[in-house]
Amino acid sequence: MKRLLKLLALFISLTLLLTGCWDQRVFEQIGYILSVGIEPSENDNLLITSVYPVIGGAEKGTVDIISKEAIIVRGARTHSRTMAPKLIEGGKVQQVLISDSLAKDGIHDLLEIFQRDVTLPAVAFVVIVEGSPQELLKKAIEFKTKPRVSFYLYQLLENNVKLSNIPNTKVFDFDINFFAPGLDPIVPLIKLENGLIKISGSALFSEDKMTGKLGHQETNLLLGMMDQFKYADFIFSGSDFSGKNGEKQGVAVTLFKSKRKVSINFDEEGKPIVEIKLNYIINLDEFEWDDTMEPKVQEDLEKKFGSNLTNMSNDVIKKLQEANSDPIGIGDMIRAKYYDYWNSIDWKEMYQEADIKANVEVEIENVGIIK
Amino acid sequence: MKVVFISPLLAYKCRGDNMQEIVSKKLEDNIKYLDEQFTDSPDVKRQKLLLKDGTPALLVYVEGLIDTSLLQRDILPSLMNMESSNIFDESLQIANLPSANTILSDNLKVLISYILSGWPVICINGFDRAIAVNLIKYEKRGISEATMEKNVKGSNEAFIESLNTNISVLRRSIKNERLKFKMIVLGDITNQSVAIGYIEDLANPKIVEVLSKKIKEIKYDGLFDVGYIEQLIADNQITPFPHYMSTERPDKTVSCLLEGMIAILLDGTPSALLAPVSFFSFFQAPDDYNGNWMVASLIRLLRMFGLIIALFLPALYIAIVSYHYYMIPLNLLIPLAESRARVPFPPIIEVLILETTLEMIREATIRLPTFIATSLGVVGGLIIGQAAVDAGIVSNIIIIVVSITAIASFLIPNYDMALTIRYIRFIVMFFAAIFGIIGVVISGVFLLAHLVILESMGEPYFKPMFPFRLNDFKDTLLRPSLKALRKRPSIAHPLDKSRGKK
Amino acid sequence: MMNNKANEISSGQVFIFVVSGQIGFGILSLASTLAEDVGHDGWIAIAFAGLITALLICMIVATLKRFDNITIIEINNIIFGKYIGRVLSLFIIAYLTYTAVLMMRKFNDIIKISALRLTPSIVLTSFLIIPIVYLSWYGLKYICRYSTLKIILILTVVLYYMLLLKYLRFTFLQPIGAAGGMKIIKVSFSPFTSFIGYELLTFIYPYIKDKKKVLKSALYANAFTVAFYIITVAFLTGFFGETMLEQLIYPVFSLARAYRAPVFERLDLFFISLWFPIMVSTVLVYYFCAYNSLKRLFNIENNKPKSKILIWSFTIMVVLLSRLPRDMIQLNTLFDQLGYIATVYVGFIFICYALSFIKRRKKKNEKAS
């Protein structure tokens, strides 16, 4: 009896070893999609472009690109699997590129698959492309001097996130900001310009619909107001900054981490009056010879920088209000502090009327090693 | 007359019930008896001689176990110049021979065991007593350098095969009368002595008692290493882990004795068995305590890291490559895929091919003479690996994985433990091949469950960790400064908990 | 191996035991359940619920103290007589088995969802149960030793939260008490499956060496659990916001997916591996209590061959029964009901407590007359 049991156990474990591995997906037999592009197709469906690197092909450093019309995002993978020599999987997707024309109609449900399917990464970048993602990807695979397109995009996005030129928006951030009342997502914006991929700033969303865009300098300031700012290169231009000799028409600085303070008040009619106070620390990078160590000159510069940044920030706020997009989360702050008031209004309407002002002060900390 | 074991080193127990083999007053009877016992024993010399007064006597000894020149020079002349009445005192208790160590016995069985361990025995006609004289001298290895457990600093002595020498080495290190040795004879046929060494007032007497009881109960024909004892007294038979630690280093033995542990020495084996021990003591080397504590802590951490790598790295490779491709860092994706693309085997087979080759090389180098072993290592490591990659049998990465694993497993200071870890690694690999990373976790959990169940002499094997004891735990993953180690570890329940007076 | 020493535990191990029973499965979805009920104030409700649980623990320990050194199985026999008592004990064991079965199924489902989609459940469950059976066979002491790991892992999980600290929005937790005080208190009275586990004290009481400290350890354990729950729920609410939290089934795992680690990018599998031993020990304590109570009921505690047959058949039964719930919805409904059943069971203990007074009075009267 005992021997029989032992034999049975041996038999079962052997069968397991031989027939097991149900979930096995051997790595080299997989084609991993690294970038996905989604745009509307001619027939009002989705045109989905997926890029995956070719492994073991004749030529080194190539990628495959498959475009297919589908009614749903998963449709692209299902279709690709019928065409590609490898098992197409999406677990390593780095960027989800969405065309701006599609984003205008709302993209929230497009991204749902990244949250529902655990094999897909919820930490992929969401990127809005001005124009067609398919075109961008197709152009990008022809770049001979650059790494494979997904790596190229990955590095481009990472570096610009560090420089606060674009928001650090992953699928997760998008969803959280979309769901939260009184908060709206913003998404990096890129485009194809002169045959190169260029970061152009950020796309503003109202709920899940794209309603406006900002340039990358404006994004710097917006991120400052959102308190998600570390540092950025910034160039002031205009006659204010022409200096003594007038050789240059601007000043190049590095903005460092800002301090933010938001105060909320209400006027008699119940409209919110919001003041965002910001404090930047500035590192002077390029200006002109002489005098930058003079206290008076510095004070003067600080004032100029401050008023310039205040104006620009107010312009950004105006754009936000026009787009009815609230990435700063002023609505969220009002909800947290004035809950009864929040319940009595429709924030989306009130936001556009609200009186929101930025007030920026700067402090020059460092001027480099010349006076 | 009762047999009095004068020397602990000769605590031979007398087997069989036939204790009545009394020395006869007639020499002829004794000769007859001994002849019967020692048939076909060319090494047992029986020399008849006459005393000064013409009394016949018999000298029996084993050639090669005694110092013949001393016998020739001192014992024989004085014996032959004596009259039979002078040899014994009146009460027949003291023998009048020029020797530092003599005993008298009337039991032939006892005398035979003395003869066999190198004591010449002299029977004299007309007396029912025989004299055994200690003249033990046999060929043995000198104390040599430790080969298995190397050390940078500190003593480099190793135990040798002779029990006497080993005990004297310990005695030399601990000049204290409280160092005690309990003697037990083991081996139904081989009659080997075992010494259970401990420090009185420090080692827990309960553990000493339990251990000696367990050892006394061993019934086995012969024991050729302390490993035999270990296996025969283990609490839990179904385990790959060593329950007790065998070491060839006297300094390690001494330090363990000072912690209240017990050392078991077996005649004929150059190593000591230490008990009770915890899992973590297998990852400590004497060198840890010889130098700076910060550096030693770092080395300890490195060793623990090595343990984890040695157990799980190949399994993790299998799991990730065959199940969880999305765990691979982005920049590694393409190089890894390119190196794997040519390999026809699934990862588990790939790893098995290489791991088995490596294990074969290891096993082969142990048995081979040193100079061949070195070249075999080179052949195995470099040429086969490179050729396998070129032939497309395995990928580049797996060579790195397997060699890192091999190096990591060399970090484990104890040979038995290193073997166990190698064994477990294969099990984890199989689980990883079936369930991916979940398989690695299942086997890890099972391993832990097994470790907490194990006990060494009734003490939890995984002690300072689970169950958690802060005082002992300090000295496992890290090595605090000696000033912070004022207390002895509690694993052996020492009677005196503090080290040294304040 | 089957001696009673293998079951003997110290009061410190009671702490580990109670924590093992409590933290495991409930917390995985607790935050989203609470978000549906009280929005972002879930953590306050937990604090209240923790206080209630602490009270229940006090009462349970008081009951157990009256019947020195026996488990509920013997208490039933004393109070209700041999036959009714045995039937009641069988019901109680059925409750334990039911809980263990549901947990096993949930364990299996979580692993399936997160890592092994295609592996047949029956194979997976049989493998997952190996360490559980192994430790249960050897005894309570070893279970508690193993579960020490759980405390370390829970602290590691809290460390993992710290990685995401900078994404936390405290405004998501404000205004505090927006759901209304009455509502929060009402919700905190609803029996949470997440808190059950303390009632297992009634099965291990005789094995505790130092009975004076039992109450203290159990309360500390409850405090530890509550603290971890408050941190988790507050963190999840602050991270996701209540609206998104409502949408998630296992918000703790979703949180694990949200961190983009340097080099490795995704740490979700790492998190599953971290949570795996935690889940093992939760099933383990229920499994052990059911198995051990069966042994006590049949009086075969020291009978090794019979115990062997029992554990084999019990294991096969658990594995097969765990296949019974039809789908995830049914499983979740059944799982949420566990809290109610546990409450009924706790109520039963109090009935025993009350009856014990009557019984004693009767005995006194008999003696007096």
Contacts 24+ apart (CB under 8 A), B349-352: B350/B393, B350/B394, B350/B395, B350/B398, B351/B314, B351/B317, B351/B318, B351/B398, B351/B401, B351/B402, B351/B429, B352/B429
C-chain residues within 8 Å CB-CB of B467? 13, 145, 148
Residue with tokens 């200006």: A287
Residue A120 pLDDT greater than 50, yes or no: yes
Q: Give the count of domains, chain A.
A: 2
Sign of CA dihedral C9, C10, C16, C22: positive
Burial (CB count <10 Å: 0-12, 13-18, 19+), residue C241: buried
pLDDT in tens, C23-52: 989 899 899 989 988 888 889 999 999 999
Which pair of structure tokens corresponds to residue B134?
């200690």
Q: Which chains touch C (3 or more CB pairs under 8 A)?
A: A, B
**Of C143, C107, C140, whose CA–CA distance to C126 is shortest?**
C107
pLDDT band at residue C274 under the 50/70/90 scheme: very high
Tell me, yes or no, whether A263 and A302 share the same domain: yes
Which pair of structure tokens corresponds to residue A244?
């003594």
Tell me, yes or no, whether A182 and A233 share the same domain: no
CA distance B439 to chain C (A): 9
Closest partner CB to C266 (pick from B326, B437, B453): B326
Amino acid sitting at position B132: A
In angstroms, rounded to a whole number, what is the distance separating the alpha carbons of residues C151 and C281? 11
Mean residue pLDDT across chain A: 87
Can you point out the beta strands (E) in chain A? Answer: 30-32, 35-40, 46-53, 63-70, 87-89, 95-99, 125-130, 186-193, 196-206, 209-214, 231-237, 250-266, 272-286, 355-366
In angstroms, rounded to a whole number, what is the distance separating the alpha carbons of residues C250 and A292? 57
**Domain-located, residue A8:** no
Which pLDDT does position B8 carry in this prediction? 36
Tell me, yes or no, whether A230 and A254 share the same domain: yes
Q: How many CA atoms lie within 13 A of A195 on its CB side?
A: 4
Question: From chain C, which residues contact A within 8 Å (Cβ)?
Answer: 113-120, 123, 167, 169-172, 174-175, 178, 239-241, 243-244, 247, 253-254, 257-260, 265-266, 268
Helix (H) or strand (E) holding B456: strand B455-456
Cβ distance of B467 and C124 shorter than 8 Å: no
**Domain-located, residue A9:** no
pLDDT band at residue A319 under the 50/70/90 scheme: very high
**Domain-located, residue A33:** yes
Kindly report the number of other CB atoms within 10 A of residue B42's CB atom: 7
- A8 and chain C in contact, CB less than 8 A: no
For an interface test with C, the pick among A116, A176, A338 (most C C-beta atoms closer than 10 Å) comes out as: A176
Closest partner CB to A24 (pick from B323, B330, B341): B323
Range of the domain at B81: 8-133
Domain end call among A189, A214, A239: A214
CA distance C171 to chain A (A): 6
Cβ distance of C171 and A172 shorter than 8 Å: no
**Domain-located, residue A15:** no
Cβ distance of C243 and A179 shorter than 8 Å: yes
Tell me, yes or no, whether A60 and A205 share the same domain: yes
**Domain-located, residue A31:** yes
Tell me, yes or no, whether A345 and A367 share the same domain: yes
Cβ distance of B440 and C273 shorter than 8 Å: yes
Burial B147-174 (b: 16+ CB within 10 A, else e): eebebeebeebbbbebbebbbebbeebe
Lowest mean per-residue pLDDT among B55-59, C150-154, C362-366: C362-366
Shortest CA distance from A61: residue in chain B: B334
B-chain residues within 8 Å CB-CB of A148? 334
Q: Which chains touch B (3 or more CB pairs under 8 A)?
A: A, C
Tell me, yes or no, whether A192 and A249 share the same domain: no
Q: What is the ipTM of this complex?
A: 0.92
Pairing of strands C265-266, C260-261: antiparallel
For an interface test with A, the pick among C244, C254, C255, C319 (most A C-beta atoms closer than 10 Å) comes out as: C244
Closest partner CB to C134 (pick from B436, B440, B446): B446
A328, A299 Cβ separation under 8 angstroms? no
Lowest mean per-residue pLDDT among A259-263, B242-246, B398-402, C353-357: C353-357
pLDDT in tens, C300-350: 888 888 989 999 999 999 999 999 988 889 999 999 889 899 989 999 988
Strand order in the sheet with A231-237: A231-237, A250-266, A272-286, A355-366
Amino acid sitting at position A345: I
**Domain-located, residue A221:** no
**Domain-located, residue B181:** yes
Query: What pTM value is reported for the model?
Result: 0.90
Tell me, yes or no, whether B270 and B299 share the same domain: no
Closest partner CB to B327 (pick from C111, C119, C266): C266
Cβ distance of A118 and C113 shorter than 8 Å: yes
Domain end call among B115, B133, B151: B133
**Domain-located, residue B491:** no
Tell me, yes or no, whether A255 and A324 share the same domain: yes
Cβ distance of C138 and B453 shorter than 8 Å: yes
Shortest CA distance from B433: residue in chain A: A21
The 3-state DSSP class for residue B185 equals strand
Tell me, yes or no, whether A263 and A190 share the same domain: no
DSSP codes of every residue in B328-358: S-HHHHHHHHHHHHT--S-HHHHHHHHHHHH
Tell me, yes or no, whether B346 and B434 share the same domain: yes
Cβ distance of B466 and C149 shorter than 8 Å: yes
CA distance A29 to chain B (A): 8
pLDDT band at residue A1 under the 50/70/90 scheme: low
Cβ distance of B325 and A121 shorter than 8 Å: no
Which pLDDT does position B421 carry in this prediction? 93
**Domain-located, residue B82:** yes
In angstroms, rounded to a whole number, what is the distance separating the alpha carbons of residues B132 and B10? 12
For an interface test with B, the pick among C146, C267, C273 (most B C-beta atoms closer than 10 Å) comes out as: C146
pLDDT > 90: percent of chain B: 22
**Domain-located, residue B490:** no
Which pLDDT does position A77 carry in this prediction? 85
pLDDT band at residue A18 under the 50/70/90 scheme: low
Residue A302 pLDDT greater than 80, yes or no: yes
The 3-state DSSP class for residue B189 equals coil
Q: Which chains touch A (3 or more CB pairs under 8 A)?
A: B, C
**Of A263, A278, A269, whose CA–CA distance to A338 is shortest?**
A263
In angstroms, rounded to a whole number, what is the distance separating the alpha carbons of residues B267 and B195? 8
Burial B99-129 (b: 16+ CB within 10 A, else e): beebbbbbbbbbbbbbbebbbbbbbbbebeb
Which pLDDT does position B484 carry in this prediction? 84
Tell me, yes or no, whether B369 and B298 share the same domain: yes
Burial (CB count <10 Å: 0-12, 13-18, 19+), residue B69: exposed
Which pair of structure tokens corresponds to residue B31?
């000769």
CATH code at position A273: 3.30.300.210
**Of B264, B244, B268, B272, whose CA–CA distance to B148 is shortest?**
B272
Tell me, yes or no, whether B170 and B218 share the same domain: yes
CA distance A112 to chain B (A): 19
Range of the domain at A117: 27-214
Higher pLDDT among residues C179 and C165, named by residue: C165
Cβ distance of C268 and A337 shorter than 8 Å: no
Which pair of structure tokens corresponds to residue B380?
């195995």
Cβ distance of A121 and C239 shorter than 8 Å: no
CA distance B435 to chain C (A): 7
Question: From chain C, which residues contact B within 8 Å (Cβ)?
Answer: 13, 111, 115-116, 119, 124, 127-128, 130-131, 134-135, 138, 142, 145-146, 148-149, 263-266, 269, 272-273, 276-277, 280
pLDDT in tens, B120-149: 898 888 888 888 888 888 878 888 888 888
Cβ distance of C258 and A339 shorter than 8 Å: no
Which pLDDT does position B17 carry in this prediction? 44
Tell me, yes or no, whether B224 and B313 share the same domain: no
**Of B312, B318, A16, whose CA–CA distance to C124 is shortest?**
A16
B435, B442 Cβ separation under 8 angstroms? yes
Which pLDDT does position B257 carry in this prediction? 92
CA–chain centroid gap for C79, Å, is 27
Tell me, yes or no, whether B192 and B109 share the same domain: no
In angstroms, rounded to a whole number, what is the distance separating the alpha carbons of residues A220 and A234? 8
Which pLDDT does position A189 carry in this prediction? 93
**Of A359, A307, A303, A351, whose CA–CA distance to A327 is shortest?**
A351
Sign of CA dihedral A247, A250, A255, A260: positive
**Of A12, B314, A81, A114, whose CA–CA distance to C120 is shortest?**
A12
Shortest CA distance from A92: residue in chain B: B326
Cβ distance of C172 and A170 shorter than 8 Å: no
CATH topology of domain C4-362: Amino acid/polyamine transporter I (1.20.1740)
Residue with tokens 């395995």: B394
CA distance C244 to chain A (A): 6
Q: Per-residue pLDDT averaged across A288-305, rounded?
A: 84
Tell me, yes or no, whether B99 and B227 share the same domain: no
Which pair of structure tokens corresponds to residue B404?
């890192």
Contacts of B400 (CB under 8 A, 6+ apart): none
Which pLDDT does position B21 carry in this prediction? 73
CA distance A109 to chain C (A): 13
Which pair of structure tokens corresponds to residue B260?
């209240």
Which pLDDT does position A176 carry in this prediction? 92
Tell me, yes or no, whether A114 and A205 share the same domain: yes
pLDDT band at residue A19 under the 50/70/90 scheme: low
A356, A330 Cβ separation under 8 angstroms? yes
Which pLDDT does position C4 carry in this prediction? 59
**Domain-located, residue B474:** no
Which pLDDT does position B9 carry in this prediction? 39
Cβ distance of B462 and C263 shorter than 8 Å: no
In angstroms, rounded to a whole number, what is the distance separating the alpha carbons of residues A264 and B186? 90
Where chain B has pLDDT below 50, the residues are 1-19
Which pair of structure tokens corresponds to residue B70?
């001393």
Q: Give the count of domains, chain B.
A: 3
pLDDT in tens, C56-83: 999 999 888 887 778 888 888 888 888 8
Residue A122 pLDDT greater than 70, yes or no: yes
Contacts of C273 (CB under 8 A, 6+ apart): B437, B438, B440, B441
Determine phi and psi for A184, rounding to 5 degrees: -130, 150
**Of C132, C142, C131, C17, whose CA–CA distance to B453 is shortest?**
C142
Mean residue pLDDT across chain B: 85
Distances (CA, A) of C61 to B223, C18, C215, C357, C358: 55, 13, 6, 16, 19
Tell me, yes or no, whether A34 and A83 share the same domain: yes
Shortest CA distance from A125: residue in chain C: C260
Q: Where along chain C do its domains lie?
A: 4-362
